[in-house]
Amino acid sequence: YVLEDTSGTRDLAELRTIQDWYLRYQLTAVPGVSEVASVGGFEKTYEVTVEPVKLRGYGISVARVMSAIKASNQDVGAMMMELTEREYMVRGLGYLESARDIEDVVVGATASGTPIRIADVATVQLSPDVRRGLADLDGRGDVVGGIVVMRFGENALATIDRVKAKLAEIEAGLPAGVVLRPVYDRSDL
């Protein structure tokens, strides 16, 4: 299938985000589906450009910057906390969601205890990831799509029917103007 924006208001990066963070997870949950491979478009990534002079001035290594970002971008499992004879379940959601979140990650401290943030030693910007190919449909140019892979040993027709039903369900919840178009259907084989 491919995602098409009939309104012309979304770029390939937005369509790829819908594919990677919504469609792929919905379709992977369909019984009989092994994986959903995303193709085409632009994957968003945050680019952190360190400034060597500032790193040296603060005595911070590039490895420290990398480990601080990695440590700040994880979920922390739920734990029990006891407070005034009551127990509370606590879970830390630590995923970085924006360039600002990354800029605010602390990588060290000055001698006086002032936090040194990523923003103090680097610039952070949203940029497209390195492309390793593209998907073209009917010679009209770059598109975003997904390839649904069936689990080994599953009933192909039953799995395809479930995928089609899920696609119809998903399409109703997509942003206005975004439609799903099947491009390869094995149910006729």
Query: How many structural domains compose the chain?
Result: 2
**What pLDDT was estimated at residue 20?**
92
Q: How many Cα atoms sit within 13 Å of 17 on the Cβ side?
A: 9
Which pTM was predicted? 0.67
**Residue 185 CA: distances (Å) to CA of 33, 37, 149, 171, 188:** 15, 16, 12, 17, 7
Mark whether 66 and 103 lie in a shared domain: yes
Q: Could you identify the residue written with the tokens 């990677």?
A: 20
**What pLDDT was estimated at residue 90?**
67
Mark whether 153 and 171 lie in a shared domain: yes
Q: Please give the distance of CA 126 from its chain centroid, rounded to a whole number.
A: 13
**What pLDDT was estimated at residue 87?**
73
| Pairwise CA distance, residues 109 & 88, whole Å | 32
Mark whether 120 and 159 lie in a shared domain: no
Mark whether 76 and 14 lie in a shared domain: no
Mark whether 135 and 173 lie in a shared domain: yes
| Pairwise CA distance, residues 139 & 133, whole Å | 15
Mark whether 58 and 106 lie in a shared domain: yes
pLDDT per residue as tens digits for the range 1-36: 999 999 989 999 899 999 998 999 999 999 999 999
Mark whether 49 and 124 lie in a shared domain: yes
**What pLDDT was estimated at residue 42?**
86
Mark whether 105 and 135 lie in a shared domain: no
Domain of residue 84 covers 44-128
Last residue of a domain, one of 79, 102, 128: 128
**What pLDDT was estimated at residue 83?**
72
**What pLDDT was estimated at residue 27?**
96
Radius of gyration of the chain measured on its C-alpha atoms: 22
**What pLDDT was estimated at residue 166?**
96
Domain of 184: which CATH number?
Answer: 3.30.70.1320
Mark whether 33 and 53 lie in a shared domain: no
**Which residue numbers in the chain have pLDDT < 70?**
75-80, 89-94
